[in-house]
A and B are shown apart, each in its own frame.
Chain A
Amino acid sequence: EAQVTQNPRYLITVTGKKLTVTCSQNMNHEYMSWYRQDPGLGLRQIYYSMNVEVTDKGDVPEGYKVSRKEKRNFPLILESPSPNQTSLYFCASSLRSRAGDQPQHFGDGTRLSIL
């Protein structure tokens, strides 16, 4: 089954404790992206990757890191999480690196609470 898998689905942690949210897709997609969803703000793009070893900033990259060492994986790293990063996070992927015309397949989300 074609899917985008995020782990964990839920996490409660404390300020400053490094965490990683993993994202994996089994569709051989070139493009992957991370978003955060906050009430009244919709989804905001954090980082995206056009292909392996190619990443770029979205609209809200501060406080986040990503890497794309393999095509299928695109982890989101919070080196020193802060309460304002409490949010619902989505990973998405699409087929081609020219991603503008490709619909994205979304994971089920990761709800992060940072105390």
Chain B
Amino acid sequence: AQSVTQLDSQVPVFEEAPVELRCNYSSSVSVYLFWYVQYPNQGLQLLLKYLSGSTLVKGINGFEAEFNKSQTSFHLRKPSVHISDTAEYFCAVSELWGKFQFGAGTQVVVTP
């Protein structure tokens, strides 16, 4: 069965500093991986996805993630954050037939 672990519940970061959000997953089959962002009082929006191919995936708003099959990880990075990146971030994994697992979320707080 698939599962997802986000290793940090909260990540404080200064504006213009880099940030990395860690995500590990477990699955007995091939998976698809996603990162979503949730701004206050809103639904989730897709940041990026890994389906196959290149292990470095670029998404919206300057985010990127790297799929590492041997370490079963899918960490999210941004080289320079803005105040507007303050939000909760969710890693998600899906096996083929419609079941999704989300991590518990990482709250990113960007301060000036």
**Interface positions of A (Cβ within 8 A of B):** 4, 31, 33, 35, 40-45, 48, 50, 56, 58-59, 90, 92, 97-101, 103-104, 106-109
Contact = CB atoms under 8 A, between A and B. Distances in A.
B93 to A, nearest CB: 9
A42 B94 contact: no
Interface residues of B, number: 29
Interface of B: 4, 6, 9, 31-32, 34, 36, 41-46, 49, 51, 90, 92, 94-105
B11 to A, nearest CB: 15
A48 to B, nearest CB: 5
Contacts of A40: 9, 104
28 contacts: A31-B98, A33-B98, A33-B100, A35-B102, A42-B103, A42-B104, A42-B105, A43-B90, A44-B102, A45-B102, A48-B100, A56-B98, A58-B99, A58-B100, A59-B99, A90-B43, A92-B43, A92-B44, A97-B98, A98-B97, A99-B97, A100-B32, A100-B96, A100-B97, A101-B94, A104-B100, A106-B45, A108-B43
B43 A99 contact: no
Contacts of A97: 98
B105 to A, nearest CB: 5
Interface centre among A40, A43, A58 (most CB of B within 10 A): A43
